[in-house]
Chain A
Amino acid sequence: MAGTGTAHLRSADDVLLRVEHLVVDFPSAGGQKVSAVADLSLDVAEGETLGLVGESGCGKSTAARAIMQLPAPTSGTVLFEGRELTAMRGEQLRKLRPRLQIVFQDPISSLNPRRRVADIVGAPLKVWKQGNDAERRARVDEALETVGLDPSVARDKRPHEFSGGQCQRISIARALVLEPKVVICDEPVSALDVSVQAQILNLLEDLKQQYGLTLIFITHDLAVVKNVSDRVAVMYLGKLCEVADPDRLYAAPAHPYSAALLSAIPVPDPSVRASASGLVPGDLPSPLAPPSGCRFRTRCPRAEERCALEQPQVREVADGQFVACHFPLVGDVAPPADAEVAEATVS
Chain B
Amino acid sequence: MHASADEFPRAGRGLLDVSDLRTQFRTPRGVVTAVDGVSLSLQRGRTLGLVGESGCGKSVLSRSIMGLLPPTATRTGEITFQGERLDLLGDDAMRSYWGVQVSMVFQDPMTSLNPVMKIGRQILEPLEVHTDLDKAAARETAVNLLRSVHIPEPERRLKQYPHELSGGMRQRVVIAIALACGPQLVFADEPTTALDVTVQAQILDLLDEQQRERDMAMVLVSHDLGVVAGRTHEIAVMYAGQIVEIAPTTTLFSEVRMPYTEALLKAVPRLENASHSRLQVIGGRPPDLASPPPGCRFAPRCPYAQARCHTEMPPLVEADTPGHFYRCWFPVGTDAGREALERNVAAKVPQAEAAVTGQLTVEAG
Contact = CB atoms under 8 A, between A and B. Distances in A.
Sorting the interface of chain A by its residue count into under 10, 10 to 19, 20 to 34 or 35 or more gives 35 or more
A37 interface: no
A198 B358 contact: yes
Contact of A149 (B196, B201, B265, B362): B362
Given A193-B54, A199-B360, A224-B269, A274 B204 contact: yes
Interface stretch (B74-82, B112-120, B275-283, B340-348): B275-283
Interface in A208-262: 220-224, 226-230, 245-247, 250, 260-262
B276 A228 contact: yes
A202 B54 contact: no
B257 interface: no
A172 B273 CA distance: 26
A201 B275 CA distance: 12
B108 interface: no
B32 to A, nearest CB: 16
Interface stretch (A16-24, A265-273, A311-319): A265-273
B196 A55 contact: yes
B166 A266 contact: no
Nearest to A279: B198
Contacts, number: 162
A202 B205 contact: no
A223 B269 contact: yes
Given A153-B365, A154-B365, A247-B275, A273 B281 contact: no
B229 interface: yes
A263 B276 CA distance: 21
Contact of B271 (A157, A203, A267): A267
A270 B264 contact: no
A284 interface: yes
A194 interface: yes
Nearest to B277: A227
B281 A198 contact: yes
Chain B interface helix/strand/loop/mixed: loop
B198 A267 contact: no
B230 interface: yes
A275 interface: yes
B263 interface: yes
Contact of B275 (A157, A166, A227, A262): A227
A189 to B, nearest CB: 9
A193 B225 CA distance: 12
B255 interface: no
A55 B197 contact: yes
B296 interface: no
B363 A148 contact: yes
Contacts of A164: 54
Nearest to A165: B285
26 contacts: A55-B198, A148-B360, A149-B365, A150-B363, A150-B365, A193-B53, A194-B268, A195-B53, A198-B279, A198-B280, A223-B270, A224-B269, A226-B269, A246-B275, A247-B274, A261-B198, A263-B201, A264-B198, A266-B226, A266-B230, A267-B230, A268-B253, A272-B230, A273-B230, A283-B168, A284-B166
